Chains A and B, each alone.
Chain A
Amino acid sequence: MSEAGGAPRLADLDAALAGQAPLPRDNGELVFEEPWQGRALGMGVVVLERTGATWAEFRRHLVDAIRRRPHDPGESAATAYYAAWLDAVEALLAEKGLVARSGAAGAETP
């Protein structure tokens, strides 16, 4: 648990992402349909901690990624959201010069 000691509370994430990019919830509870979605969320939180990036910065990338992501009617809302979340993590790291953008974060991907 100690490694999560400095992590923001879920309520802080909600406050930071409210409005344009709220975490997917159902009946008040977070929705993770598959394990990778939870891991995506965890990665984002850890990356922000380690890089000192702000939630405002991340939110900008996330909103941008959601907007750019082609709508796939066969995809659930949580899948679309956390796929955009991965895009946003990559975009943030690219902006910080820490990791080169993979092709997947770009406009394409089938």
Chain B
Amino acid sequence: MSDDPDHGHHHPRPDSEVALRARALEALLVSKGLVSTDAVDAIIELYERDVGPKNGARVVARAWTDPAYRERLLADGTKAIAELGFGGAEADDLVAVANTATVHNVVVCTLCSCYPWAVLGLPPVWYKSLPYRARMVAEPRAVLRELGLELPDEVEVRVWDSSAEVRYLVVPMRPAGTDGLSEDALAALVTRDCMIGTGVPPTPGPAT
């Protein structure tokens, strides 16, 4: 994507009054020593796995099993996720980007933490961290390697910078050896990180 750090990233919707109030309350509680920002982050991290990116996983599993749906998803993500009953205010403009044998996609939000809530739930804490946001654009391969994803040199890495206007969902490649799996079983392979692009779905072992 563009290197221009100021590519229309400002939020068109200002923070709502209640969002400001939540921030003010947190600041007050921190100043009173009743909570720490880290402790609140830790709770969110604990529960985000319960929130789960299951909606997104269902979208991906459908795209893997239904080529026509995949086409619709890549053409108009917002409309395609609405077919499965997903959407909402922050999914106004969801763009699905598909990994291929030669292209790996990864999503970041360099200026804040724009994230496809409707399909992925709560963003992981690291997604909002400054190092991730800054380095994923500058040296995506190195960051991916640190996150445990080693990509062959011939695979092109495309970094998609989210904004308040456009959110991205990565459609990972369907792993080999999953021909006989049901849509539900396939969805179980699709982790949150796969759909951010910092991971890929596991290939089921021969034992399973």
Decide whether A and B are members of one complex.
yes
Q: How far is the CB of A10 from chain B (nearest CB, A)?
A: 4
Q: Tell me if A99 is interfacial: C-beta within 8 Å of chain B.
A: yes
The answer to whether A47 and B29 have CB atoms under 8 Å apart is yes
B140 CB–A CB distance under 8 Å: no
Contact yes or no, B18 A86, CB < 8 A: yes
Size of A's binding interface in residues, CB under 8 A: 40
**Would you list which residues of chain B between 24 and 82 have a CB under 8 Å from chain A?**
24-26, 28-29, 32, 34-36, 38-48, 50-52, 54-55
**Assuming the A-B contacts A40-B22, A50-B34, are A1 and B44 also in contact, with contact meaning beta carbons closer than 8 angstroms in the complex?**
no
A87 to B25, CA, bound (A): 10
CB distance from A75 to the nearest CB of B (A): 9
| B107 at the A interface (CB under 8 A) | no
Kindly list chain B residues whose C-beta atoms are within 8 Å of the C-beta of A50: 34-35
Nearest-Cβ distance from residue B7 to partner chain A, whole angstroms: 22
Choose one: B22, B50, B88, B117; the contact of A86 (CB below 8 Å): B22
Whether B38 contacts A30 by the Cβ 8 Å rule is no
B18–A4 contact, CB under 8 A? Answer: no
Could you mark each residue 38-62 of chain A with 1 if its beta carbon is under 8 Å from any beta carbon of chain B, else 0?
1111110111001100000000000
Rounded to whole angstroms, the CA-CA distance of A40 and B121 in the bound complex is 15
> A7 contacts B51, CB within 8 Å?
no
- Contact flag A83-B18 (CB < 8 Å), given A4-B46, A99-B29: yes
Partner of B90, one of A34, A45, A47, A98: A34
How far in angstroms is the closest Cβ of chain B from A14?
10
Q: How far is the CA of A110 from the CA of B113 in the complex (A)?
A: 28
Chain A residue at minimal CB-CB distance from B25? A86
A93 to B26, CA, bound (A): 13
Among candidates B34, B42, B55, residue contacting A1 with C-beta atoms closer than 8 Å? B42
Chain B residues with Cβ below 8 Å from A47 are: 29, 34-35
A46-B51 in contact given A1-B46, A38-B122 (Cβ < 8 Å): no
A90 CA to B28 CA, complexed, in Å: 11
A33 pairs with B29, CB closer than 8 A: no
Q: A40 CB to closest chain B CB, in angstroms? A: 5
Given contact pairs A39-B44, A99-B28, A51 touches B34 in the complex (Cβ within 8 A): yes
Knowing A32-B51, A99-B32 are in contact, say whether A7-B42 is a contact too (CB < 8 A).
yes
Give which listed residue, A4, A30, A32, contacts B39 with CB less than 8 A. Answer: A4
The residue in chain A whose Cβ has the minimal distance to the Cβ of B31 is: A99
Q: Nearest B residue to A90 by beta-carbon distance?
A: B25
Q: Which 10 A-B pairs have the closest CB atoms?
A: A4-B42, A42-B43, A42-B40, A36-B22, A3-B42, A36-B19, A4-B46, A46-B35, A10-B50, A3-B39
CB<8 Å pairs between A and B, sample of 14: A3-B38, A3-B39, A4-B39, A7-B46, A35-B113, A36-B23, A38-B44, A39-B40, A43-B29, A46-B39, A79-B18, A86-B22, A98-B32, A102-B24
With A42-B43, A46-B35, A99-B28 known, 8 other A-B pairs at CB within 8 A are A27-B85, A32-B121, A32-B122, A34-B19, A37-B22, A39-B23, A42-B40, A45-B43
